[in-house]
Amino acid sequence: MGGVPLILEELTYDFSGDPTYLQYARAKEHEIYDFVISEMEAIKDQLPTSGTQTRATWGAALALEARAALYAGSIAKYGTNTPQVS
**pLDDT tens by residue, 66-80:** 999 998 888 777 776
> 86 in a domain, yes or no?
no
Range of the domain at 53: 27-78
pLDDT for 30 equals 86
**Reported confidence tier of residue 81, pLDDT bands at 50, 70, 90:** low
Written as one letter, the residue type at 21 is Y
> 42 in a domain, yes or no?
yes
Say how far apart CA 36 and CA 39 lie, in whole Å: 5
pLDDT in tens, 6-61: 999 999 999 999 999 999 999 988 889 999 999 999 998 888 887 666 678 888 89
Q: Return the higher-pLDDT residue of 45 and 84.
A: 45
64 contacts: CB under 8 Å, gap ≥ 6: 36, 40
Domain count, the chain: 1
Predicted TM-score (pTM) of the model is: 0.77
